[in-house]
Amino acid sequence: MTNIGGLHDFGIIYSYDFSDSTFSDLYDFDHLYGTNPVRELMQASNGLLYGTTDQGGSIGAGVFFSYNYSTSTYTVLYNFDNGVNGGSPICDIVELPDNLTTGINPISNKESISIYPNPASSTISIRNYVPNLSGRNGEIRITDVLGNEIYHQAINKPSQSTIDISQWSNGVYFYQLTIPTQSGTETYRGKFVKE
């Protein structure tokens, strides 16, 4: 990749064929889909190339993307938000095998919970898609960055909860959603920003 130049002057993905000295511009970065990549591409075991851009994307804080060189398909996988989820990534991508043990605890069913909007100003909605709910009450707890409990409520067969945060102070909050299922209890944790 290059950091500048190309059609929009925000960098390109290119290839070079040593056999015939052919240079090819494969993709031109732009504001909407990411600009100014800084680090290397990584080819994953699925054959796709992965990388990040320092700027651009839907919020302007950089993107995580994939590029399929066999189909010339560029896909934005994540838009950084310059908030609690970071911005302007300057990093290489590392692929770890599924069976590798790390110090990072896996998040089970992370796609089963969504919180929106984030950041929020007046209300947040927490929706779950957890199968096999037991019918028992769950609960949600919200704490501030100092660990002080700000909100606690029992929820019956939770599928969606809307919480009024309009009177809360601006800042980062952490939620813990505990949901009884047929096989036990699932706990989900996350964070959101009140602005």
CATH label of the domain that carries residue 126? 2.60.40.1220
Residues 78 and 172 in one domain: no
| Residue 3 and residue 91 share a domain | yes
Dist CA 114 CA 155 (whole Å): 16
Pair (129, 177) in one structural domain? yes
* Cα–Cα dist 82/57, whole Å: 11
Domain boundary among 106, 125, 156: 106
Q: Say yes or no: 7 and 41 in one domain.
A: yes
Closest CA to 193 of 82, 95, 91: 82
Q: Which domain holds residue 49?
A: 1-106
Q: Which amino acid is located at 38 in the chain?
A: V
* Final residue before a domain boundary, out of 90, 106, 122: 106
Global pTM reads 0.53
For residues 101 and 131, state if they share a domain.
no
Answer yes or no: do 189 and 133 share one domain.
yes
Per-residue pLDDT of the chain (195 residues; tens, 9 = 90+): 999 999 999 999 999 999 999 999 999 999 999 999 999 999 998 899 999 999 999 999 999 999 998 899 999 999 998 887 889 998 888 887 766 666 655 545 444 567 778 888 999 887 765 555 545 567 888 998 888 899 998 876 555 678 899 999 998 888 888 877 777 777 777 788 888
Domains in the chain, number: 2
* Same domain flag for 96 and 134: no
Same domain for 100 and 118, yes or no, is no
